[in-house]
Structure 1
Amino acid sequence: MNYIYLLINIAVIFFPMVLSFDKKVHFFSKWKFVLPAILLTGVVFLIWDLLFVKLNVWSFNPDYIVGIQFFGLPLEEILFFLTVPYACVFIYECLNAYFPKDSLQKYSFSLSNLFLGLCIAMLFLGYNRWYTVINFGFLFIVLAYVEYFNVKFRFMYKFYRAYLVSLIPFYIVNGFLTSIPVVIYNDKQNLGFRVGTIPFEDHFYLMGLLLMNIYLYEFFKSRATGKGIN
């Protein structure tokens, strides 16, 4: 039983890794952009994770982890920030390869503003709850930067499309993690509203994690090619 979280990590990355050599997507050729994006984002989220453990925002069920820890975090939790972003950026690139049209791009700015408004509302409602404040505060900063200060390339329609599709495996994976539970949430530090067993904030935790990864991925790719995003 103590291999459950490790097996979930392996399941998350197995098919994206195998399918990275698909001729149309050719994802393995983009690893030089994907890996630094994942590593840089991972550092931010691991610091965040450590803080949350210290603040008792969440904890890990010892019955479902192998027991190897680094800086107080289970090995599986560290792997989570490699496997999940890799799978999500893979989804992003697959959608771009198979559905290149972005006719709905013109609506993405309005959608971003709606999410920014939601962040402000959630910060107001959960001002005294660590998970709510840090989660929506982080998303607000990253989303505002990408939409209002990122003038060289636009990719938010493609991002939202990938985020929407990523919610499918998110519900499966996070459903397991929160129902077994592998990750135990302190509801005093979140809004207390759940979709099934998944805290409401987790949906936007995924959004912030995916957005930072994709922004950095596109940033490194544009620097290498000298082009923006079409």
Structure 2
Amino acid sequence: MNYIYLLINVGVIFFPLILSFDKKVHFFSKWKFVLPAILITGIVFLIWDLLFVKLNVWSFNPDYIVGIKFFGLPIEEILFFLTVPYACIFIYECLNAYFPGNNLQKYSFSLSNLFLGLCVAMLFFGYNHWYTVINFGFLLVILAYVEYVNVKFRFMYKFYRAYLVSLIPFYVVNGFLTAIPVVIYNDEQNLGFRVGTIPFEDHFYLMGLLLMNIYLYEVFKNNRFKKDLVA
């Protein structure tokens, strides 16, 4: 039973890794952009994770982890920030390759403003809950930066489509993590509202995690593209 979280990580990355050699997507050829994006984002979220453990926002059920820890975090939790972003960026690239047309382009800026408004509202109503404040505060900052400061290239219409599709495996994976439970949430530090067994904030935790990964991925990819043009 103590291999449950490890097996979930393996299940998350198994098919995206195998299918990375698909001839149309050629995802393996983009690893040089994917890996640094995952590494940088992973460091940020691991610091966040350590803080949340210290603040008793969540903890890990010892019955479902192998017991190997680094800086107080289970090895499975560290792997989570590799497997989940890899799978989500893979979904992003597959959708872009197989479905280049995207009707969300007309609505992405409005969607971003809607989510920014939601972030402000959640900060107002959840100001005394650590998970709510840090989660929506982070999303507010990165979303505002991407939409209002980052003007070099636009990708949010592609991001929202990938996020919506990523919610399907999210409900499966996070459903297991929160129902068993592998991750134990302190409901005093969140709004106390759940979709099934999944805290409401987790949906936007995924959005922030995915947005930072894809933003950095696009930065690295676009910079390389410009260098190739100059060369």
TM bucket, shorter chain: over 0.9
Amino acid at match of 1:188: E
Check if 1:171 corresponds to 2:171: yes
2:106 corresponding residue in structure 1: 106
CA distance in structure 1 between the partners assigned to 2:157 and 2:88 by the alignment: 15
Per-residue Cα deviation, 1:102-133 (whole angstroms, up to 9, x for no partner): 34312100000000000000000100100000
1:60 equivalent to 2:60? Answer yes
Give the structure 2 partner of residue 9 of structure 1.
9
Tell me if the contact between 2:116 and 2:144 (Cα under 8 Å) persists in the aligned partners: yes
Deviation at 1:217, TM superposition (A): 0.1
Q: How does 1:24-173 map to 2 (within 5 A)?
A: 24-173=24-173
Task: For 2:102 and 2:190, locate their aligned partners in 1 and report how far apart those are by CA, in whole Å.
Answer: 36
1:190 is aligned to 2:186? no
Secondary structure at 2:107 match in 1: helix
For 2:37 and 2:18, the matched residues in 1 are separated by 20
Identity of aligned pairs, percent? 88
RMSD between aligned residues: 0.7
Asked whether the 8 Å contact 2:2–2:63 carries over to 1, the reply is yes
| One-letter identity of the residue aligned with 1:4 | I
Q: What is the SS of the residue equivalent to 2:67?
A: coil
* Cα distance in 1, alignment partners of residues 104 and 65 from structure 2: 43
Rounded to whole Å, the distance in 1 between the matches of 2:76 and 2:112 is 32
Q: Give the SS at the match of 1:104.
A: helix
CA distance in 2, matches of 1:199, 1:188: 12
Q: What 5-or-longer segments of structure 2 have no aligned partner?
A: none
Deviation of 1:63 after TM superposition, in Å, equals 0.1
- Is the contact made by 2:104 and 2:158 (CA closer than 8 Å) also made in structure 1? no
Deviation at 1:101, TM superposition (A): 1.4
Call closer, same or farther: CA 1:187–1:36 in 2, change over 3 Å: same
> What does residue 22 of structure 1 align with?
22
The question of whether the paired residues in 1 share the 8 Å contact of 2:135 and 2:205 is answered with: yes
Are the counterparts in 1 of residues 60 and 184 from structure 2 also a CA contact under 8 Å?
Answer: yes
The code of the aligned residue for 1:82 comes to L
SS in 2 for 1:174: helix
In structure 1, what is the Cα distance between the partners aligned to 2:154 and 2:103?
Answer: 13
Cα distance in 2, alignment partners of residues 50 and 202 from structure 1: 17
For residues 132-168 of structure 1, give each alpha carbon's deviation from its aligned partner in whole angstroms, at most 9, with x where no partner exists: 0000000000000000001000000100000000000
Structure 2: distance between partners of 1:127 and 1:68: 34
Q: Which secondary structure does the structure 2 equivalent of 1:184 belong to?
A: strand
Equivalent position of 1:217 in the other structure: 217
Equivalent position SS for 2:6: helix
Amino acid at match of 1:133: V
